[in-house]
Amino acid sequence: MKAVVCNAWGAPDTLTMQELQDPQAGPGQVVIDVRAAGVNFPDVLIVQGKYQFKPELPFVPGSEVAGVIRSVADDVTTFKPGDHVIAFVPTGGFGQQLLAPVQALIPMPSDMDFDTAAAITLTYGTSYHAIADRAALKNGENMLILGAAGGVGLAAIEIGKALGGRIIACASTDEKLEVCRQHGADVLINYSRPDWREAVKAASGGKGPDVIYDPVGGEYAEPAFRSIAWGGRYLVVGFANGGIPKLPLNLTLLKGASLVGVFWGEFTKRDPKGNMANMRQLLQWLQEGKISPRISGRYQLENAAQALNDMAARKVTGKVIVLPQ
Ligand SMILES: NC(=O)c1ccc[n+]([C@@H]2O[C@H](COP(=O)([O-])OP(=O)(O)OC[C@H]3O[C@@H](n4cnc5c(N)ncnc54)[C@H](OP(=O)(O)O)[C@@H]3O)[C@@H](O)[C@H]2O)c1
Protein backbone atom coordinates (compact mmCIF):
# COMPACT_ATOMS: atom_id res chain seq x y z
CA MET A 1 0.00 0.00 0.00
CA LYS A 2 1.02 3.62 -0.48
CA ALA A 3 1.45 5.89 2.54
CA VAL A 4 2.94 9.23 3.53
CA VAL A 5 5.92 8.59 5.81
CA CYS A 6 7.70 10.80 8.32
CA ASN A 7 11.30 9.52 8.46
CA ALA A 8 12.76 12.49 10.41
CA TRP A 9 11.33 15.45 12.34
CA GLY A 10 10.86 18.43 10.07
CA ALA A 11 8.57 20.62 7.98
CA PRO A 12 5.73 18.85 6.09
CA ASP A 13 7.80 19.09 2.86
CA THR A 14 10.18 16.47 4.28
CA LEU A 15 7.40 13.82 4.26
CA THR A 16 7.79 11.16 1.55
CA MET A 17 5.35 8.89 -0.31
CA GLN A 18 6.41 5.27 0.13
CA GLU A 19 5.24 1.78 -0.73
CA LEU A 20 4.75 -0.13 2.54
CA GLN A 21 3.76 -3.73 3.28
CA ASP A 22 0.00 -4.21 3.68
CA PRO A 23 -0.80 -4.41 7.44
CA GLN A 24 -2.15 -7.66 8.98
CA ALA A 25 -4.66 -7.60 11.83
CA GLY A 26 -3.26 -8.97 15.12
CA PRO A 27 -5.43 -9.83 18.18
CA GLY A 28 -8.12 -7.19 18.77
CA GLN A 29 -7.30 -5.36 15.54
CA VAL A 30 -8.87 -4.62 12.16
CA VAL A 31 -7.44 -3.37 8.86
CA ILE A 32 -9.34 -0.49 7.25
CA ASP A 33 -9.29 0.63 3.61
CA VAL A 34 -9.04 4.36 4.23
CA ARG A 35 -11.45 6.39 2.08
CA ALA A 36 -10.84 9.78 3.71
CA ALA A 37 -8.48 11.08 6.41
CA GLY A 38 -9.03 14.30 8.37
CA VAL A 39 -6.17 16.81 8.64
CA ASN A 40 -5.66 18.54 11.99
CA PHE A 41 -3.27 21.14 13.37
CA PRO A 42 -1.72 18.56 15.73
CA ASP A 43 -0.53 16.68 12.58
CA VAL A 44 1.49 19.80 11.64
CA LEU A 45 3.11 19.73 15.10
CA ILE A 46 3.58 15.92 15.29
CA VAL A 47 5.70 15.70 12.09
CA GLN A 48 7.94 18.45 13.48
CA GLY A 49 8.36 16.66 16.83
CA LYS A 50 6.63 19.57 18.60
CA TYR A 51 3.51 17.83 19.94
CA GLN A 52 2.67 16.43 23.38
CA PHE A 53 3.78 12.96 22.24
CA LYS A 54 6.50 11.94 19.79
CA PRO A 55 5.80 8.76 17.81
CA GLU A 56 8.73 6.46 17.10
CA LEU A 57 10.30 7.17 13.68
CA PRO A 58 9.49 6.27 10.95
CA PHE A 59 5.71 6.64 11.14
CA VAL A 60 2.70 7.50 9.00
CA PRO A 61 1.00 10.71 10.24
CA GLY A 62 -2.76 11.26 10.34
CA SER A 63 -5.05 10.49 13.25
CA GLU A 64 -8.67 10.28 12.06
CA VAL A 65 -10.06 8.29 9.17
CA ALA A 66 -13.25 6.99 7.68
CA GLY A 67 -13.21 3.80 5.63
CA VAL A 68 -14.31 0.22 5.04
CA ILE A 69 -13.07 -2.71 7.12
CA ARG A 70 -10.92 -4.95 4.92
CA SER A 71 -10.10 -7.71 7.42
CA VAL A 72 -10.47 -8.50 11.12
CA ALA A 73 -8.50 -10.69 13.54
CA ASP A 74 -10.06 -14.04 14.56
CA ASP A 75 -10.98 -12.73 18.02
CA VAL A 76 -12.87 -9.68 16.69
CA THR A 77 -16.63 -10.27 16.83
CA THR A 78 -18.06 -6.73 16.96
CA PHE A 79 -16.95 -5.67 13.44
CA LYS A 80 -16.70 -7.53 10.13
CA PRO A 81 -15.22 -6.94 6.67
CA GLY A 82 -17.34 -4.46 4.71
CA ASP A 83 -18.41 -2.40 7.76
CA HIS A 84 -18.09 1.37 7.37
CA VAL A 85 -16.22 2.85 10.33
CA ILE A 86 -14.60 5.98 11.75
CA ALA A 87 -11.28 5.50 13.57
CA PHE A 88 -9.30 7.80 15.86
CA VAL A 89 -5.66 6.69 16.25
CA PRO A 90 -2.36 8.35 17.27
CA THR A 91 -0.78 7.88 13.80
CA GLY A 92 -1.29 5.98 10.52
CA GLY A 93 -4.15 7.89 8.84
CA PHE A 94 -2.35 9.14 5.72
CA GLY A 95 -2.10 5.73 4.08
CA GLN A 96 -4.27 3.52 1.89
CA GLN A 97 -4.76 1.04 4.74
CA LEU A 98 -4.82 1.53 8.52
CA LEU A 99 -4.29 -1.02 11.29
CA ALA A 100 -6.52 -0.04 14.23
CA PRO A 101 -7.63 -1.59 17.54
CA VAL A 102 -11.40 -2.18 17.84
CA GLN A 103 -11.55 0.30 20.74
CA ALA A 104 -10.63 3.06 18.27
CA LEU A 105 -13.66 2.37 16.04
CA ILE A 106 -17.04 4.05 15.80
CA PRO A 107 -19.62 2.51 13.40
CA MET A 108 -20.57 5.01 10.67
CA PRO A 109 -24.29 5.78 10.36
CA SER A 110 -25.54 4.19 7.10
CA ASP A 111 -26.45 7.54 5.49
CA MET A 112 -23.11 9.25 6.23
CA ASP A 113 -20.51 9.86 3.51
CA PHE A 114 -16.80 9.15 4.10
CA ASP A 115 -15.67 12.79 3.75
CA THR A 116 -18.03 13.99 6.49
CA ALA A 117 -17.16 11.00 8.68
CA ALA A 118 -13.44 11.86 8.45
CA ALA A 119 -14.15 15.46 9.44
CA ILE A 120 -16.12 15.03 12.63
CA THR A 121 -14.23 13.03 15.26
CA LEU A 122 -11.34 15.19 16.43
CA THR A 123 -12.60 18.72 15.91
CA TYR A 124 -16.20 18.17 17.03
CA GLY A 125 -15.14 15.72 19.76
CA THR A 126 -12.70 18.30 21.16
CA SER A 127 -15.13 21.20 21.00
CA TYR A 128 -18.03 19.23 22.51
CA HIS A 129 -15.82 18.02 25.38
CA ALA A 130 -14.54 21.57 25.92
CA ILE A 131 -17.87 23.41 25.81
CA ALA A 132 -20.26 20.86 27.34
CA ASP A 133 -18.03 18.90 29.77
CA ARG A 134 -15.40 21.46 30.76
CA ALA A 135 -17.15 24.86 30.51
CA ALA A 136 -20.75 23.68 31.01
CA LEU A 137 -22.01 26.47 28.71
CA LYS A 138 -25.53 27.48 29.76
CA ASN A 139 -28.45 28.53 27.60
CA GLY A 140 -28.17 32.26 26.76
CA GLU A 141 -24.52 32.65 27.82
CA ASN A 142 -22.08 34.53 25.60
CA MET A 143 -19.16 32.48 24.25
CA LEU A 144 -16.19 34.15 22.55
CA ILE A 145 -14.31 31.90 20.10
CA LEU A 146 -10.79 32.77 18.90
CA GLY A 147 -9.65 31.30 15.55
CA ALA A 148 -13.36 30.67 14.96
CA ALA A 149 -13.06 29.76 11.25
CA GLY A 150 -10.54 26.95 11.91
CA GLY A 151 -11.29 23.26 12.47
CA VAL A 152 -12.06 23.22 16.19
CA GLY A 153 -13.27 26.85 16.03
CA LEU A 154 -16.02 26.27 13.47
CA ALA A 155 -17.09 23.13 15.33
CA ALA A 156 -17.23 25.24 18.52
CA ILE A 157 -19.59 27.74 16.84
CA GLU A 158 -22.05 25.01 15.85
CA ILE A 159 -21.87 23.19 19.18
CA GLY A 160 -22.20 26.46 21.12
CA LYS A 161 -25.34 27.30 19.13
CA ALA A 162 -26.77 23.80 19.59
CA LEU A 163 -26.32 24.24 23.38
CA GLY A 164 -28.15 27.59 23.33
CA GLY A 165 -25.16 29.95 23.52
CA ARG A 166 -24.74 33.35 21.87
CA ILE A 167 -21.58 33.17 19.79
CA ILE A 168 -19.03 35.95 19.31
CA ALA A 169 -16.61 34.77 16.61
CA CYS A 170 -13.09 36.20 16.14
CA ALA A 171 -10.96 35.57 13.05
CA SER A 172 -8.18 37.32 11.14
CA THR A 173 -9.98 38.17 7.89
CA ASP A 174 -13.46 39.27 6.85
CA GLU A 175 -13.66 36.26 4.47
CA LYS A 176 -13.10 33.89 7.40
CA LEU A 177 -15.72 35.77 9.44
CA GLU A 178 -18.24 35.26 6.64
CA VAL A 179 -17.67 31.49 7.00
CA CYS A 180 -18.32 31.87 10.75
CA ARG A 181 -21.57 33.69 10.00
CA GLN A 182 -22.67 30.89 7.65
CA HIS A 183 -22.10 28.39 10.48
CA GLY A 184 -24.21 30.31 12.99
CA ALA A 185 -22.04 32.97 14.70
CA ASP A 186 -24.12 35.85 16.11
CA VAL A 187 -21.39 38.52 16.27
CA LEU A 188 -18.29 38.77 14.05
CA ILE A 189 -15.05 40.47 15.15
CA ASN A 190 -11.89 40.79 13.07
CA TYR A 191 -9.12 40.42 15.67
CA SER A 192 -6.44 41.69 13.31
CA ARG A 193 -7.89 45.16 13.98
CA PRO A 194 -6.46 47.04 17.00
CA ASP A 195 -9.85 47.80 18.59
CA TRP A 196 -10.99 44.15 18.77
CA ARG A 197 -11.05 44.07 22.59
CA GLU A 198 -13.46 46.99 22.76
CA ALA A 199 -15.60 45.20 20.15
CA VAL A 200 -15.71 42.09 22.38
CA LYS A 201 -16.85 44.19 25.34
CA ALA A 202 -19.54 45.92 23.29
CA ALA A 203 -20.71 42.57 21.86
CA SER A 204 -21.33 41.20 25.36
CA GLY A 205 -23.25 44.19 26.72
CA GLY A 206 -20.19 45.51 28.59
CA LYS A 207 -19.96 42.50 30.92
CA GLY A 208 -17.63 40.32 28.84
CA PRO A 209 -18.05 36.75 27.54
CA ASP A 210 -19.06 34.03 30.03
CA VAL A 211 -16.97 31.43 28.18
CA ILE A 212 -13.87 31.98 26.04
CA TYR A 213 -12.76 29.18 23.69
CA ASP A 214 -9.07 29.62 22.83
CA PRO A 215 -7.30 27.30 20.35
CA VAL A 216 -4.94 30.13 19.30
CA GLY A 217 -3.03 31.41 22.34
CA GLY A 218 -0.04 33.67 21.61
CA GLU A 219 -0.69 37.40 21.60
CA TYR A 220 -4.50 36.98 21.65
CA ALA A 221 -4.86 35.22 25.00
CA GLU A 222 -4.19 37.97 27.53
CA PRO A 223 -6.44 40.64 25.94
CA ALA A 224 -9.17 37.98 25.64
CA PHE A 225 -8.82 36.89 29.26
CA ARG A 226 -8.90 40.54 30.43
CA SER A 227 -12.34 40.79 28.76
CA ILE A 228 -13.93 37.78 30.48
CA ALA A 229 -17.15 38.16 32.52
CA TRP A 230 -17.38 37.69 36.28
CA GLY A 231 -17.38 33.94 36.96
CA GLY A 232 -16.24 33.24 33.39
CA ARG A 233 -14.53 30.05 32.15
CA TYR A 234 -11.49 30.35 29.85
CA LEU A 235 -10.95 27.18 27.80
CA VAL A 236 -7.25 26.52 27.03
CA VAL A 237 -7.54 24.43 23.85
CA GLY A 238 -4.37 25.08 21.83
CA PHE A 239 -1.60 27.39 20.69
CA ALA A 240 -1.90 27.67 16.89
CA ASN A 241 -0.38 31.17 17.11
CA GLY A 242 2.86 29.57 18.30
CA GLY A 243 3.46 31.14 21.69
CA ILE A 244 2.22 29.59 24.95
CA PRO A 245 0.76 32.61 26.75
CA LYS A 246 1.67 33.52 30.34
CA LEU A 247 -1.24 35.15 32.16
CA PRO A 248 -1.02 37.30 35.32
CA LEU A 249 -2.96 35.16 37.84
CA ASN A 250 -4.48 38.21 39.56
CA LEU A 251 -6.84 38.38 36.57
CA THR A 252 -8.52 35.14 37.67
CA LEU A 253 -9.01 36.61 41.18
CA LEU A 254 -10.39 39.93 39.93
CA LYS A 255 -12.99 38.21 37.73
CA GLY A 256 -13.71 35.18 39.93
CA ALA A 257 -12.84 33.36 36.70
CA SER A 258 -11.53 29.87 35.93
CA LEU A 259 -8.77 28.76 33.58
CA VAL A 260 -9.94 25.38 32.25
CA GLY A 261 -7.59 22.99 30.43
CA VAL A 262 -8.91 20.83 27.57
CA PHE A 263 -7.10 17.68 26.35
CA TRP A 264 -9.54 15.64 24.31
CA GLY A 265 -7.12 12.82 23.34
CA GLU A 266 -6.38 12.08 27.01
CA PHE A 267 -10.11 12.33 27.83
CA THR A 268 -10.89 9.61 25.24
CA LYS A 269 -8.44 7.27 27.00
CA ARG A 270 -9.49 8.07 30.57
CA ASP A 271 -13.23 8.16 29.92
CA PRO A 272 -14.01 6.14 26.77
CA LYS A 273 -17.69 5.76 27.75
CA GLY A 274 -18.05 9.53 28.23
CA ASN A 275 -16.43 10.10 24.85
CA MET A 276 -18.74 7.60 23.14
CA ALA A 277 -21.76 9.34 24.72
CA ASN A 278 -20.46 12.66 23.32
CA MET A 279 -19.97 11.11 19.87
CA ARG A 280 -23.54 9.72 19.91
CA GLN A 281 -24.85 13.23 20.67
CA LEU A 282 -22.77 14.68 17.82
CA LEU A 283 -23.94 12.04 15.32
CA GLN A 284 -27.55 12.75 16.34
CA TRP A 285 -27.05 16.50 15.83
CA LEU A 286 -25.47 15.76 12.45
CA GLN A 287 -28.56 13.81 11.40
CA GLU A 288 -30.81 16.61 12.70
CA GLY A 289 -28.78 19.18 10.70
CA LYS A 290 -27.68 21.06 13.86
CA ILE A 291 -24.02 20.57 12.93
CA SER A 292 -22.54 20.35 9.46
CA PRO A 293 -18.75 20.02 9.00
CA ARG A 294 -17.32 22.37 6.38
CA ILE A 295 -14.79 20.68 4.11
CA SER A 296 -12.87 23.45 2.38
CA GLY A 297 -10.20 21.32 0.68
CA ARG A 298 -9.62 17.80 -0.60
CA TYR A 299 -6.05 16.60 -1.30
CA GLN A 300 -4.76 13.45 -2.98
CA LEU A 301 -2.41 11.36 -0.80
CA GLU A 302 0.70 12.64 -2.62
CA ASN A 303 -0.35 16.20 -1.70
CA ALA A 304 -0.81 15.55 2.04
CA ALA A 305 2.23 17.76 2.84
CA GLN A 306 0.52 20.61 0.96
CA ALA A 307 -2.57 20.16 3.15
CA LEU A 308 -0.39 20.51 6.27
CA ASN A 309 1.43 23.54 4.80
CA ASP A 310 -1.86 25.27 3.95
CA MET A 311 -3.09 24.69 7.49
CA ALA A 312 0.11 26.07 9.03
CA ALA A 313 -0.15 29.13 6.74
CA ARG A 314 -3.68 29.98 8.02
CA LYS A 315 -5.10 29.31 4.55
CA VAL A 316 -7.83 26.79 5.41
CA THR A 317 -11.29 27.16 6.91
CA GLY A 318 -13.12 24.35 8.68
CA LYS A 319 -11.63 21.00 7.73
CA VAL A 320 -9.44 19.71 4.95
CA ILE A 321 -9.17 16.02 4.16
CA VAL A 322 -6.79 13.64 2.38
CA LEU A 323 -8.17 11.05 -0.06
CA PRO A 324 -5.81 8.03 -0.15
CA GLN A 325 -7.49 5.74 -2.68
N1 LIG B 1 -6.77 20.48 23.43
C2 LIG B 1 -7.14 19.55 22.57
O3 LIG B 1 -7.61 18.48 22.94
C4 LIG B 1 -7.00 19.84 21.10
C5 LIG B 1 -7.61 19.02 20.13
C6 LIG B 1 -7.50 19.39 18.77
C7 LIG B 1 -6.78 20.52 18.42
N8 LIG B 1 -6.17 21.25 19.40
C9 LIG B 1 -5.39 22.46 19.10
O10 LIG B 1 -6.29 23.47 18.63
C11 LIG B 1 -5.59 24.33 17.75
C12 LIG B 1 -6.39 24.49 16.47
O13 LIG B 1 -6.45 23.25 15.77
P14 LIG B 1 -7.26 23.15 14.38
O15 LIG B 1 -7.09 21.76 13.89
O16 LIG B 1 -8.60 23.71 14.55
O17 LIG B 1 -6.37 24.14 13.48
P18 LIG B 1 -6.79 25.18 12.33
O19 LIG B 1 -7.95 24.65 11.58
O20 LIG B 1 -5.55 25.49 11.60
O21 LIG B 1 -7.29 26.46 13.14
C22 LIG B 1 -6.40 27.25 13.88
C23 LIG B 1 -6.78 28.71 13.74
O24 LIG B 1 -5.81 29.45 14.50
C25 LIG B 1 -5.66 30.71 13.93
N26 LIG B 1 -4.25 31.13 13.99
C27 LIG B 1 -3.78 32.23 14.61
N28 LIG B 1 -2.47 32.35 14.47
C29 LIG B 1 -2.07 31.29 13.71
C30 LIG B 1 -0.80 30.88 13.22
N31 LIG B 1 0.31 31.57 13.47
N32 LIG B 1 -0.74 29.76 12.48
C33 LIG B 1 -1.84 29.03 12.23
N34 LIG B 1 -3.10 29.39 12.67
C35 LIG B 1 -3.20 30.51 13.42
C36 LIG B 1 -6.17 30.65 12.48
O37 LIG B 1 -7.28 31.54 12.38
P38 LIG B 1 -7.10 33.09 12.04
O39 LIG B 1 -6.29 33.20 10.78
O40 LIG B 1 -8.49 33.55 11.88
O41 LIG B 1 -6.39 33.70 13.22
C42 LIG B 1 -6.67 29.22 12.31
O43 LIG B 1 -7.93 29.18 11.67
C44 LIG B 1 -4.20 23.74 17.55
O45 LIG B 1 -3.29 24.40 18.40
C46 LIG B 1 -4.37 22.30 17.98
O47 LIG B 1 -3.16 21.72 18.44
C48 LIG B 1 -6.27 20.94 20.71
CA–centroid distance, 10 to ligand 1, in Å, is 19
Report the 10 Å Cβ neighbour count for 313: 8
134 with 238, same domain: the answer is yes
User: Would you give per-residue pLDDT tens digits along the chain (325 residues)?
Assistant: 999 999 999 999 999 999 999 999 999 999 999 999 999 999 999 999 999 889 999 999 999 999 999 999 999 999 999 999 999 999 999 999 999 999 999 999 989 999 999 999 999 999 999 999 999 999 999 999 999 999 999 999 999 999 999 999 999 999 999 999 999 999 999 999 999 999 999 999 999 999 999 999 999 999 999 999 999 999 999 999 988 999 999 999 999 999 999 999 999 999 999 999 999 999 999 999 999 999 999 999 999 999 999 999 999 999 999 999 8
DSSP 148-183: TTSHHHHHHHHHHHHTT-EEEEEESSHHHHHHHHHT
51 with 87, same domain: the answer is yes
Question: Which residue's C-alpha comes closest to atom 8 of ligand 1?
Answer: 238
CA–centroid distance, 39 to ligand 1, in Å, is 12
CA–centroid distance, 83 to ligand 1, in Å, is 32
64 with 196, same domain: the answer is no
Strand arrangement of the beta sheet that strand 187-190 belongs to = 187-190, 166-171, 142-145, 211-214, 233-236, 258-261
Domain assignment present for residue 277? The answer is no
231 with 247, same domain: the answer is yes
Closest ligand 1 atom to 123 CA:
6
Q: Is 285 helix (H, G, I), strand (E, B) or coil?
A: helix
Ligand 1 and 236: CB distance under 6 A:
no
**Cα angle value 56/14/150 (rounded, 5°):** 85
Query: What local confidence, expressed as pLDDT, does residue 180 receive?
Result: 98
Number of domains in the chain: 2
107 with 188, same domain: the answer is no
139 with 188, same domain: the answer is yes
CATH, residue 229: 3.40.50.720
Domain assignment present for residue 273? The answer is no
Domain assignment present for residue 280? The answer is no
pLDDT tens for residues 45-104? 999 999 988 999 999 999 999 999 999 999 999 999 999 999 999 999 999 999 999 999
Q: Cα(first)–Cα(last) distance of the chain, in Å?
A: 10
Report the 10 Å Cβ neighbour count for 121: 25
Domain assignment present for residue 90? The answer is yes
Residue 79 in contact with residue 45, Cβ under 8 Å?
no
Residue 195 in contact with residue 173, Cβ under 8 Å?
no
69 with 137, same domain: the answer is no
CATH, residue 80: 3.90.180.10
What mean pLDDT, rounded, does the chain reach? 96
Closest ligand 1 atom to 154 CA:
16
Closest ligand 1 atom to 153 CA:
16
139 with 213, same domain: the answer is yes
Ligand 1 and 169: CB distance under 6 A:
no
0.85 exceeded by the pTM? Answer: yes
Ligand 1 and 232: CB distance under 6 A:
no
Q: Is 97 helix (H, G, I), strand (E, B) or coil?
A: strand
Ligand 1 and 46: CB distance under 6 A:
no
Closest ligand 1 atom to 237 CA:
1
Closest ligand 1 atom to 44 CA:
47
Domain assignment present for residue 137? The answer is yes
Domain assignment present for residue 284? The answer is no
251 with 300, same domain: the answer is no
Ligand 1 and 187: CB distance under 6 A:
no
236 with 304, same domain: the answer is no
CA–centroid distance, 71 to ligand 1, in Å, is 35
Domain assignment present for residue 279? The answer is no
190 with 218, same domain: the answer is yes
Domain assignment present for residue 283? The answer is no
152 with 255, same domain: the answer is yes
CA–centroid distance, 123 to ligand 1, in Å, is 10
Identify the domain containing residue 142 by its residue range: 123-265
